[in-house]
Amino acid sequence: MVAGELLQDHVRPGGAPDPGELPDLKEASPAEPPADERDAMLPGGDAAAPGTRLYRRRFAVLAVFSLYSLVNAFQWIQYSIIANIFTFYYDVTSDRVDWLSVVYMAAYVPLILPATWLLDRRGLKVTALLGAGLNCVGAWAKCLSVRPGRFGVTLAAQVVCSVAQVFILGLPSRIASVWFGPKEVSTACATAVLGNQLGTAVGFLLPPVLVPNTTQDKEEIGHNISVMFYGTSVVSTVLFVLTAIVIKDRPPLPPSQAQAVLPEGQADGYSYQRSIMNLFKCRPFVLLLITYGIMTGAFYSVSTLLSQMIMAHYPNQQVNAGMIGLTLVVAGMVGSIICGLWLDYSKTYKMTTLIVYILSFVSMLVFTFTLDLGYISVVFVTAGVLGFFMTGYLPIGFEFGVEITYPESEGTSSGLLNAFAQIFGIIFTLIQGQLTTQYSPLVGNTFLCAWMFVGIVLTALIKSELKRHNINMGKDKCALQAVSPRYVQTPLTTMASLSRDCPCNY
């Protein structure tokens, strides 16, 4: 969905209200929102933002999205954390089991542009239904793969789940921008990202418990795997139904001035492809693409190979490997929420991004050079600190991208950020996996540290312009001009061609 469509869902093409939304519009008509909702909007209440309103439904939308994102992330990591069991059960090599995680990254790259186009054209609800629906189909398909000779079936089912991910990862910033007020938008985005991180945490914790490494009987292992797969399928089905009921494209009235000033029409000359190309001409955003890709790709690689790294130094510690992964992600969840709250309070996107990047690099160095000390308690601590900063960075990158590309579609900027994360994730996972297998975890982790240092340098070069924040604060009318001239003129604002006074090409 493009930014110019954000106010159209409750209005028919001819301008008549959609009857299905009339009750909500009536509810939104009072001039004075409740105090708690007013506080989450612009400073000074709604007087500075006529026609804006927050709805309680936003919390239900956020909760349902976070939950089915959780299940999708769980299905990503559920193989790699017990890779040795699946290699034995399916009689395949460990690198083939690694591909059950890598396929999530490989599927994202070619499909992200069609997915963001669909989000622009068809809206949030259709995209959410596709994500939840494919997640459900993939989960049930895995139930058919519980036979020692059916590795191909489980791989095909994982491909379906990986396609579902394409319609999930780009939605946090869209949901936050369209449903939440300026004082809560970064926290909402962090919470939406939190669901995916929590799924990774559950993926580290539950598989070693549900499928313990205590037997060589393939029939018993198959039964344990079935319990895990069928349980996931039931939960996925319930969440698909809730997605159909709860999630809507947008509320009847926009939640912020930044959304309210966006016009209702779309210029006849608008080109989605041109919008993409113009984003790539925005140098601050291109630098963010690379730095976000390095950081998130490193996190994907560490998460995928964590079990192998732990088992290399601490044999027979399968359950502890899962608990360490859980520690890494739970600490990251705390980091995400703290960073989101801090951004909502301070709006210091560039400074926060750089500081968190540096602390992630330092944490990775400590984790790398203490992994082989022989004290697994030390690994718990270093992994927790590493997770706090690495995964805490994820919502910061999303929100920073939205700020410097406003009023372009949040789904497009987030989708491109995730695409680069998947590309770097594939490269890092394959290279680090080979370095870890042929040499040692120390060599593989040092490889990631070198790239993270490059990310710090590039982050320092990003020029920050908080366009969305400036509009919410009424400081910068120039930021209303899009990266591409795609809007029609409205009484709210005139969307002219990109001027020299507020270029994206610095």
pLDDT greater than 60 at residue 495: no
Model pLDDT, residue 233: 95
Give the span between the Cα atoms of 276 and 387, in whole angstroms. 32
pLDDT in tens, 281-312: 788 889 999 999 999 999 989 888 888 888 88
Q: Of 464, 442, 296, nearest to 371 (Cα)?
A: 442
Give the span between the Cα atoms of 233 and 72, in whole angstroms. 11
pLDDT greater than 90 at residue 235: yes
| Neighbour tally for 259: CB within 10 Å | 28
pLDDT in tens, 395-442: 788 778 777 777 666 667 777 888 888 889 889 988 998 898 888 889
**pLDDT, mean of residues 483-493:** 37
pLDDT in tens, 320-368: 887 888 888 888 888 878 887 887 777 787 888 899 999 999 999 999 9
Residue of 328 and 139 predicted with greater confidence: 139
pLDDT averaged over the chain?
78
Q: Of 290, 296, 259, 294, nearest to 409 (Cα)?
A: 259
Model pLDDT, residue 474: 60
Model pLDDT, residue 156: 93
Give the span between the Cα atoms of 92 and 411, in whole angstroms. 38
| Neighbour tally for 453: CB within 10 Å | 15
Give the span between the Cα atoms of 483 and 413, in whole angstroms. 12
CA distances to 78, 102, 157, 415 from 197, rounded to whole Å, are 13, 17, 22, 17
pLDDT in tens, 45-56: 444 445 778 888
pTM summary value: 0.65
Flag the least confident range among 170-179, 182-191, 287-296, 405-414: 405-414
Give the span between the Cα atoms of 305 and 98, in whole angstroms. 8
pLDDT greater than 50 at residue 19: no
| Neighbour tally for 24: CB within 10 Å | 18
Residue of 428 and 8 predicted with greater confidence: 428
Model pLDDT, residue 468: 62
Give the span between the Cα atoms of 292 and 354, in whole angstroms. 11
